[in-house]
Amino acid sequence: DLEKVPGISPGGIGTGRQVVRLGPGGVSVIIDYEAMSGPFRDYSGHGILSWEPGEKIYRVVWAQNVTPGISIETGKMEDGNLVTSYEIMEHGEKYTVRNIYSDRTPNSYTLTNYYVDLRGKQIKNLTMKLRKR
């Protein structure tokens, strides 16, 4: 479910496929995502999630086909949810992206994505409900 964010996203409902597997040595998680229908049906991305014990943070490295470069998210657990964020320049504007991974079970989780502008205004962009097939 993609919210309409002026100048950023068109809004609408779509479907996609995410493949998640353990990385080398079982100390990271590799994520491949591909949108299959909806407003971002051409979107795909590849990510790696890992815990950084020395810094006591989670780090997610993400490459996607819609913007050049690599985003590096950092995060921590807040109220039982993994909350990550990173800065990005997209559509001519700089803002912070905030991701909340919630409702986690062995077979599903919810990802809610927000844009935070330079004034600190948080705008919900999308909600993805992922479930194991």
Query: pLDDT tens digit string along 58-86?
Result: 999 999 887 778 989 999 999 999 999 99
Three-state SS string over the chain comes to: CEEEECCCEEEECCEEEEEEEECHHHCEEEEEEEEEECCCCCCEEEEEEEEECCCCEEEEEEEECCCCCEEEEEEEEECCEEEEEEEEEECCEEEEEEEEEEEEECCEEEEEEEEECCCCCEEEEEEEEEECC
Give me the chain's average pLDDT, please: 85
The whole model's pTM is what? 0.82
Give pLDDT, residue 8: 52
Q: Please calculate the CA angle 99-62-105 and round it to the nearest 5 degrees.
A: 50
